């Protein structure tokens, strides 16, 4: 059985997310730019920010925690036009359904980004 959290880490590494110190944008026309924010030492945010009805909208926007020691990463939050989901809605509580669904989504999204050529150059 594959470990989705290792798969996510490996794909984040291939895209170049883990080498971002503060903020980076991967331009990849004709696709939307991919924005990468290093929120904390072990937390990154990835987003596409299309303009919809004259407003910039984060769709999707995900926060991801990485664990470099065991080369894994997990989703923390997901936001799009329809709302926001949190894996850890409050201290000591885990929404396992959200964690599993968001991990699947993130793994597919990263695969799609890689297949479309989103790779950060140093």
Structural domain boundaries of the chain? Answer: 4-115
Rounded distance between C-alpha atoms, residue 96 and residue 87, angstroms: 7
Residue numbers in the chain where pLDDT is lower than 70: 1-2, 122
The predicted structure's pLDDT at residue 1: 44
The predicted structure's pLDDT at residue 2: 64
pTM of the model: 0.91
DSSP one-letter code for 9? H
């Amino acid at each position: 059985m594959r470990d989705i959290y290792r798969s996510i880490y490996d794909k984040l590494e291939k895209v170049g997310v883990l080498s971002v110190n503060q903020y980076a944008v991967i331009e990849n026309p004709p696709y939307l730019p991919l924005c990468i924010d290093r929120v904390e030492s072990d937390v990154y945010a990835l987003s596409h920010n299309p303009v919809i009805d004259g407003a910039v909208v984060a769709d999707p926007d995900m926060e991801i925690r990485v664990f470099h020691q065991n080369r894994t990463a997990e989703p923390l939050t997901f936001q799009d036009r329809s709302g926001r989901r949190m894996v850890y809605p409050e201290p000591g509580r885990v929404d396992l359904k959200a964690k599993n669904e968001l991990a699947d989504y993130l793994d597919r999204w990263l695969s799609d980004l890689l297949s479309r050529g989103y790779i950060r150059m140093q």
